[in-house]
Structure 1
Amino acid sequence: MEISVKDLTKKYKDKYALDHVSFSILEPKIYGLLGRNGAGKTTFMEILAGHILATSGEITINNENPFDNQHLIESICLIKEGNNFKRDLSIKNVLCIYSMFYPTWDPDLAEELVKIYGLDKKAKVKTLSKGMESALGIIVGLSSKAPITIFDEPYIGLDAAARRRFYEILLEEYEKEKRIIIFSTHLIDEVSLLFEEILIIQDGRLILREEADVLRHSTCAVTGSIQQVEAFSKDKKVLNKKELAGMMTAFVYCRKEEAVAEGLKAEGIPVQELMIHLTENKGA
C-alpha cells in the first residue's frame, strides 16, 4: 500500500487542524506519529481512515481516495483511544462483525488475544472497564491484519504489564507479516524502540520526518563547561541549553563521537525529549 499526502488541509472555522501537510509512505514500517495535544494527529488519522473529508488537498492510498471507498476501507483499521464499538454489542458480536468486514482477519490470533487479556466474550461493551475496552480495541487492531493499521492512544486504562504485552505481540505479528503500522502515543519512551520512522506534527504542520535510527544517532546531549559547550555548538543546530554551576548541557544535532573528541560528555537523547524540545522550538 502506498500513501500519498499532498497539501492536506483541514480547517474548522478559523483554526487549521492540518495546514498544507505533504509526505508519502511507500513501504511497510512501524511509524511513530508524535506531537502534542491538538497538534493535528487524530485529524490526520481520521482522514487517512476515510472517516472525514479534508478541507483541501488530498490523501490517496494506491491513488484512490479512502473516503466512502469500501474497497480501501477494508484495508484500513483505525483503533482510537475510546468509543470504537457500539455499547450494546457483546465482545463475541464485535469480533464476529469485524471478522466479516476485514478479509485479512486472523480468527486464531483473536481467540489467543481474548485469552491473554482475560476477556469474557459474553460481556457487553458497556459493561467493560476502560482497560478491558482498550484490550478489545487492541485485539481488533492486531487481528484485522489490515495492510494499514492505525493505533491512536489504544491502551488507556491498561497497566504497565498489559501495555508491555501489547508491544511484544505487535512486534511479533509485524515480524511475521509486514504492514504499515501508524502508532500515535504520549508514552513515547515506552514504545520508541519499536519505531522505524518518526513523524512529528506541530500546529497542524509536519515539522520532522526521519528514520528513527538516524534521529537517535544524529542528536545528543553534550555536557561540559559553558565555554566548551558554547564553542562546540557555535556552528551547529541547538535545540536547547541548560546551565548549572558553571556547566552547560546542550541538545545538539551532532554525533556523539564529535563531542567526545572535544573532551565533552555526550549521551543520546530519548525520542520523547527530542519531541518536547522540537515542539517547544518556534523555529523547528
Structure 2
Amino acid sequence: MTVEVIVNNLGVRYGEHHALQHIDFKLSGPKIYGLLGRNGAGKTSLLSILSSFRSQTEGMLTINGEEPFENAKVMSLVNFIYSKDYKEESENAKNLLKDVERYRANFDRDYADTLLKKFNLPVNKPLKKFSKGMQSAFDVVAGLASRAPITIFDEAYQGMDAPTREIFYREVLEDQAHHPRIIILSTHLVSEMDYLFDEVLILHEGKLLLQEEYESFITKGASITGETDEVDDFVRGLELKQLSVQQLGGTKSVMVFGELSEAKQKEAQQRGLEMGPVSLQDLFIHLTGEDV
C-alpha cells in the first residue's frame, strides 16, 4: 500500500512553550527514516501527532490526504512503538499478540512467532515478569509483525543488550526488503543505527534542521587535517560552515559541512592536507550544538 505523509507549517504549543514550530516535510515511498534530535527537540510531540495521540496547535499533517486525529481509517495505518510500563500487565506475550492482531490488518502471526523465538521470549510468562529488555523486545515483535504501512519505533531498544539490538536491526532491514513500508526510527544511538537509514530528519529546538538522503548528507561533511598554517589558509577560502576545530602541536583538524568542489579537493591534496569522512553522529552533534 502506497502511503504519503505531508506536514505543512506544523506547530505544537504547551502553554507558552513552542514544542514544534513551522515544520514542513514529506515522507513518501517505502524508506527507513532516521529521526534525530537532542532531548526536548520535539521528536515525541511530532510522532504523537503522526500517530493520532494528539492534534497539532497549528498547521497540518495529513496521511494520504486525510488528517489522522480521531480518524479510524488513517489511525489503522500507523503503529507507534514506544517504551511502555508493563508492571501491572498479567497477560502473557501470546495473548497480547492476539490483541495486536485483532486491530492490525497486515499482522503476520507466523512472523511474530518466529520473532518470539529469535528474541528468546517466553510466550506464556506474564509481561510484568519480563525484564525491561525483554519487554522492549516484545514491543519490537508487535511492531515488526504488524507490518503497518507506517511503523514507528521511538527509542524501542531501551533495556536491550547489544546482541538483542543487533537482532532488531537485522530484522528491520530484512523485513523491509520483503515487506516495504515507511519505517521511522527515533533514536539516540546514532552511531549504532546510522547504516539502517535511507533518509535522515533532524529536529533542533522545535524546528526541522534538515531532511536529506543519508548518503547525500554524510558526503557533505569532511575533516581537513594538516599543518596549522596550511589548514588555516585552505579553510579561509571556503564558504562552508565550520563545525569543530582541534589542534595538537603544529597539527590542526577542522570539520566542515557543505559541498566541497573537486577543485578544492584537489587543492587540499596538493597542499598535503588529509581529507577524511565525518560520521552521521559527529555531524548531528555539531549541527545541533550550542552555536547553531
- Superposition TM-score, scaled by structure 2 size: 0.92
Say whether 1:238 aligns with 2:208.
no
Residue in structure 1 matching 2:173, options 171, 181, 184: 171
Given residue 274 of structure 1, which amino acid in structure 2 is its aligned partner? L
Identify if the C-alpha distance between structure 1 residues 33 and 85 changes in structure 2 by more than 3 Å, giving closer, same or farther.
farther
The CA deviation at 1:84 is 7.7
Q: Where do 4+ consecutive residues of structure 1 move more than 6 Å? A: none
The CA deviation at 1:268 is 1.0
- Contiguous gaps of at least 5 residues in structure 1: none
Instruction: Render the CA deviation track for 1:252-282: whole Å, top value 9, x for unaligned.
Output: 1345961435421111111111100000053
Residue in structure 2 matching 1:214, options 200, 204, 216: 216
The CA deviation at 1:47 is 0.6
The answer to whether the 8 Å contact 2:133/2:157 transfers is yes
RMSD, aligned CA: 1.7
Identify if the C-alpha distance between structure 1 residues 261 and 12 changes in structure 2 by more than 3 Å, giving closer, same or farther.
farther
Q: Secondary structure at 2:286's aligned position in 1? A: helix
The answer to whether the 8 Å contact 2:52/2:70 transfers is yes
Residue number in structure 1 paired with 2:84 = 82
> What are the equivalent positions in structure 2 for 1:243-258 lying under 5 Å apart?
243-253=247-257, 254-255=259-260, 258=265
Say whether 1:275 aligns with 2:284.
yes
- Contiguous gaps of at least 5 residues in structure 2: none
Q: Secondary structure at 2:288's aligned position in 1? A: helix
Segment of structure 1 superposing worse, 239-248 or 77-86: 77-86
* Distance (Å, rounded) in 2 between the aligned partners of 1:199 and 1:68: 26
The answer to whether the 8 Å contact 1:220/1:256 transfers is no
The answer to whether the 8 Å contact 2:90/2:128 transfers is yes
Task: Tell me the number of residue pairs that the alignment of Structure 1 and Structure 2 aligns.
Answer: 283
- Superposition TM-score, scaled by structure 1 size: 0.95
Say whether 1:181 aligns with 2:190.
no
Taking every aligned residue pair, what percent have the same amino acid on both sides? 39
The answer to whether the 8 Å contact 1:201/1:207 transfers is yes
Residue in structure 2 matching 1:64, options 55, 63, 66: 66
The answer to whether the 8 Å contact 2:62/2:68 transfers is yes
Identify if the C-alpha distance between structure 1 residues 106 and 34 changes in structure 2 by more than 3 Å, giving closer, same or farther.
same
Residue number in structure 1 paired with 2:22 = 20
The answer to whether the 8 Å contact 2:87/2:128 transfers is no
Q: Secondary structure at 1:4's aligned position in 2? A: strand
